[in-house]
């Protein structure tokens, strides 16, 4: 039996309607909201053959656990995405581009990382089970649909995962403030896994020592570090820029 999930917000639910309409069991919408955006959304849901239910704000909050639902909450079946590194790599044409997160526990940061990973064309985001947040409704909302498109793999041991990636021919590059070269000086065109730690603490020592190389994002102002999702965007899009030259 399929696992039932809840998605909320226009972007997250619209992407699911676009990518896997058969998995959407029903959509609850705010009966008091009838602006152009809502009318367009409801029309899209009807076109996909999805049941649309008028609900009030209290019901929507109860369904998704937050008031930040934008008037849209969907009950959906879980959609299969790759659950192992081997499954991800089997589907990659060309050089893989992966994002590894070490110690990112905030759902808003994870959602934003998934969003930039999707935008940069990363093939998966990987995190350790014991030092990370799982995908939940908040992550899906912040990801604006990317939680539906980017595989998110939670591994038992990140250092072991890095060793497996290296054995598969993937270069593992971590980020650190004291790295000798910048992200712009590194060659990122090869099969690549970029490793980022949580803001402030950075990479754990074992993770850091497991990397093939370390790079830094050049900072020109007063702040010493960037939010992890911003840093992920800088690194992933630099890799994409180099590959597209």
Q: Which domains are present in the chain?
A: 4-77 (3.30.1330.30), 85-244 (3.40.1280.10)
What pLDDT shows up at residue 81?
Answer: 65
Residue 186 has what pLDDT? 96
pLDDT over threshold 70, residue 80: no
Q: Is the separation of the CB atoms in 195 and 122 below 8 Å?
A: no
pLDDT digits (tens, 9 = 90+) for 176-197: 999 999 999 999 999 999 999 9
Q: What is the per-residue pLDDT across 147-164, written as a single tens digit (0 to 9) for each?
A: 888 999 999 999 999 999
Reported pTM: 0.75
Q: Is 18 left (phi over 0), alpha (psi -120 to 50) or beta?
A: alpha
Q: Is the pLDDT of residue 2 over 90?
A: no
Q: What is the mean pLDDT of the chain?
A: 92
> Tens of pLDDT along 35-71?
999 999 999 999 999 999 999 999 999 999 888 899 9
Give residue 1's pLDDT.
Answer: 45
Neighbours of 243 (CB within 10 A): 16
């Amino acid at each position: 039996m399929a696992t039932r999930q809840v998605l909320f917000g226009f972007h997250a639910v619209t992407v699911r309607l676009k990518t896997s309409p058969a998995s959407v069991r029903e959509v609850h919408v705010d009966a008091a909201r009838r602006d152009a955006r809502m009318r367009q959304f409801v029309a899209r849901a009807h076109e996909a053959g999805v049941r649309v239910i008028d609900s009030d704000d209290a019901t929507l909050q109860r369904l998704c656990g937050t008031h930040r639902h934008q008037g849209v909450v969907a009950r959906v079946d879980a959609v299969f995405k790759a659950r192992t590194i081997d499954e991800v790599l089997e589907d990659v044409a060309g050089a893989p581009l992966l994002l590894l997160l070490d110690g990112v526990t905030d759902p808003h940061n994870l959602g934003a990382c998934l969003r930039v990973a999707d935008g940069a064309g990363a093939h998966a985001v990987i995190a350790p089970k014991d030092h990370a947040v799982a995908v939940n409704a908040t992550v899906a909302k912040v990801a604006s649909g990317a939680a539906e498109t980017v595989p998110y793999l939670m591994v038992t041991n990140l250092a072991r995962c890095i060793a497996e990636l290296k054995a598969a021919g993937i270069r593992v590059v971590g980020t650190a403030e004291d790295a000798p070269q910048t992200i712009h000086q590194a060659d990122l065109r090869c099969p690549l896994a970029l490793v980022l730690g949580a803001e402030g603490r950075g990479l754990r020592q074992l993770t850091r020592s497991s990397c093939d190389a370390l790079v830094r994002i050049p900072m020109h102002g007063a702040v010493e570090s960037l939010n992890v999702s911003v840093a992920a965007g800088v690194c992933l899009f630099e890799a994409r820029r180099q590959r597209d030259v």
